[in-house]
Structure 1
Amino acid sequence: MQDTLLLGPEGVKKTILHGGKGDIPKFITGAKVTFHFRTLLCDDERTVIDDSKVAGTPMEIVIGNMFKLDIWESLLSSMRIGEVAEFWCDTIHTGVYPLVSKSMRRIAEGKDPVDWHLHSCGMANMFAYHSLGYDDLDELMKEPKPLYFVLELLQVQQPSEYNRESWALSDEERLKVVPVLHGQGNKLYKQARYQDAAQKYKEAIICLKNVQTKEKSWEVPWMKLEKMANTLTLNYCQCLLRMEEFYEVIEHTSDIINQHPGVMKAFYLRGKAHVEVWNEAEARQDFSRVLDLDPGMKKAVKKELAVLNIWFKSHRQIVCYFFLF
């Protein structure tokens, strides 16, 4: 079947490659749509950019959930279950595709799709050029082009037909689930289940960061979310310390300190991490900053410095003994 149709949105053409079955499903807000996709350049070779079948996992989006590539909702809403269709989309619809593709590729590689420790809003990231980590996506970012999307609709589940994970929540629902995840993380931490606690904190941070990208940087709503995210990030770092992921602690606390140099707890946790990786000067500097920000931490800092002194005294003795031979 090769029917070429003009869809409602300007700059879109649809060609049905394989007809589906039944009526068009109800694509109501909250419905989860599962589909395969293939993205191609509009060149003579029809160069493939992404293919979910090659990645081995179909795509899932939730209708009305502010998916960055919103044109996909319109495309899918014209399809029947089992249908395969090719959509030509002009650049007015494809400008954000490199960002979406990056997230999907990171998921396929088993990585975190959201760089949640970066403290800048999503729109700023979009228009401030930096490498996405993939050469082909960098080219598309610098010079957006029309694209072909070949979609195969697999399933449409209504909101009551599936268990909604945090990524499938609306912004309002995300904000409601954050304190729940925070409390669960605290409880797991007290039980010494640090890996599980870290996962709860991380999920809460991602929820906040997704909401925060829709706010204007440094204004009151953004700052409120930032403060909540920083608190959770520091809890996450406490788990990382227990898990001996010291360099990651240094990375996340440094991100906070660079943006908010008055956060005492960030200096304290970074100082503890520096001790563990034998960065003596950096550790002492951080603990000194802790006392500047909160003199009430004198007892805790004194304890850490005592450990630091014993640690490095022993280290120097070992080094001297080694060179004797």
Structure 2
Amino acid sequence: MGQEVSGMATVSLLLAKALGLLLCMQFCCGATNSPLAAPGPRAHHALHRSGGSFSALARVSSLCRSPPPVAALSPATTSTPVPFVSPRSPQHVVLYPMVSKSLRNIAAGKDPLEGQRHCCGIAQLHEHHSLGYADLDELQKNPQPLIFDIEVLKVEEPGSYQQDPWAMTDEEKLQAVPLIHKEGNELYRQGKVPEAASKYYDAIACLKNLQMKEQPGSPDWIELDQKITPLLLNYCQCKLQCQEYYEVLDHCSSILNKYEDNVKAYFKRGKAHAAVWNVAEAQADFAKVLALDPSLRPIVAKELRSLEARLREKDKEDKVRFKGIFSQ
């Protein structure tokens, strides 16, 4: 019983700190591609806070409205949202619109620094006439107390929480990539293809973030790019199985623009071309595969036979579909 009470108190402390983390978060953080917030009058922010014995993930919803006469943060042991009222003094929330805009940019996969320059928050407020969101523009013009609904989403065991790539340091990103890659491979072997694709994407995001800091074509840039390529090929394999063929075409072509002898990229692109009825392009890619690695002839022959069979079936369907059109 004592342990349960202690856990409840710890959760309450975590939630209180979650609100502080949200309001103190620098809107100029270098985070990208992270689903932290959603656009709209009510913005949802997923926050993580580590405790001594466990960690908790909370969702914070903010809504511009007048607070009730009395509100308090009570111990949360369920997923029921707990209201938290921001200070009544407007100056305490005057920077929140800029924070919310950056979080919404992150959720949309945009750069949180988009449209900003390096300066203090007050200068940012004076520089931008509109934040791009009507509710945030209104709050910026007329600051008012906010109400945050804090909801515990889950409690995790020690060591089980894995930071999102955007929150990692450069060193943590490099250390995380092999682990994320391994997790993706395991998920793929289990048949959890979309989940595996998400892992490969996270690993690629870590390396891409590091690569952006290097001079294109430099030894460090090339080394990172060579680590990205196998992850991107794994990601393309997942997308092939998810029938997202045009994404495969784009990524494989980007690889081949840099590495013209990448057999796997030609093979996967050939399969994607075949799937979207780009017959000539598929045949050309499969021919390139054979030229680079003749040992793959049985596999390529199987793909070509499958393509020919699909073409014959399509011709039959077309004949039935258009039968009698030209005889009328």
Map of 2:177 onto structure 1: 178
Deviation sequence 1:85-116 (CA, Å, 0-9, x none) = 768xxxxxxxxx9xx999744444xx4447xx
Gaps of 5+ in 1: 1-31, 40-50, 63-80, 88-96, 115-125, 127-131, 155-159
Question: Does the C-alpha gap of structure 1 residues 191 and 161 become closer, same or farther in structure 2, counting only changes over 3 Å?
Answer: closer
Q: How many residues align?
A: 225
Shift of 1:253: 1.5
Does 2:216 align with 1:229? no
**Structure 2 CA distance, aligned partners of 1:52 and 1:276?**
36
Matches within 5 A, 1:269-308: 269-308=268-307
Map of 1:84 onto structure 2: 92
Q: Which amino acid in 1 is paired with 2:163?
A: E
Q: Which amino acid in 2 is paired with 1:303?
A: K
Give the strand-richer structure, 1 or 2.
Answer: 1
Query: Percent of pairs identical after alignment?
Result: 35
- Aligned to 1:324, the other structure's residue is in SS state coil
- Aligned to 2:235, the other structure's residue is in SS state helix
**Structure 1 CA distance, aligned partners of 2:21 and 2:103?**
16
Question: Does the C-alpha gap of structure 1 residues 185 and 59 become closer, same or farther in structure 2, counting only changes over 3 Å?
Answer: closer
Question: Does the C-alpha gap of structure 1 residues 162 and 267 become closer, same or farther in structure 2, counting only changes over 3 Å?
Answer: closer
Does 2:55 align with 1:56? no
* TM-score, L = length of structure 1: 0.57
**Structure 2 CA distance, aligned partners of 1:324 and 1:161?**
65
**Structure 2 CA distance, aligned partners of 1:113 and 1:287?**
36
Shift of 1:289: 1.8
**Structure 1 CA distance, aligned partners of 2:159 and 2:293?**
51
Matches within 5 A, 1:1-325: 33-35=21-23, 54=41, 56-57=43-44, 84=92, 104-108=103-107, 111-113=108-110, 137=115, 147-148=124-125, 163=161, 165-166=163-164, 167-325=166-324
Shift of 1:248: 1.6
Q: Which amino acid in 1 is paired with 2:125?
A: Y
Deviation sequence 1:237-287 (CA, Å, 0-9, x none) = 111111111122112222222333332211111111111111111111111
CA contact (8 A) 1:205 1:229 kept: yes
Greater gyration radius = 2
Map of 2:57 onto structure 1: none
Runs of at least 4 residues off by over 6 Å? 36-39, 59-62, 100-103, 149-152
Map of 1:24 onto structure 2: none
**Structure 2 CA distance, aligned partners of 1:235 and 1:38?**
35
Question: Does the C-alpha gap of structure 1 residues 321 and 258 become closer, same or farther in structure 2, counting only changes over 3 Å?
Answer: same
Q: Which amino acid in 2 is paired with 1:297?
A: L
CA contact (8 A) 2:43 2:100 kept: no
* TM-score, L = length of structure 2: 0.57
Gaps of 5+ in 2: 1-19, 28-37, 50-85, 118-122, 127-139, 149-157
**Structure 2 CA distance, aligned partners of 1:38 and 1:208?**
23
CA contact (8 A) 1:34 1:59 kept: no
Shift of 1:194: 0.3
- Aligned to 2:227, the other structure's residue is in SS state helix
Question: Does the C-alpha gap of structure 1 residues 324 and 212 become closer, same or farther in structure 2, counting only changes over 3 Å?
Answer: same
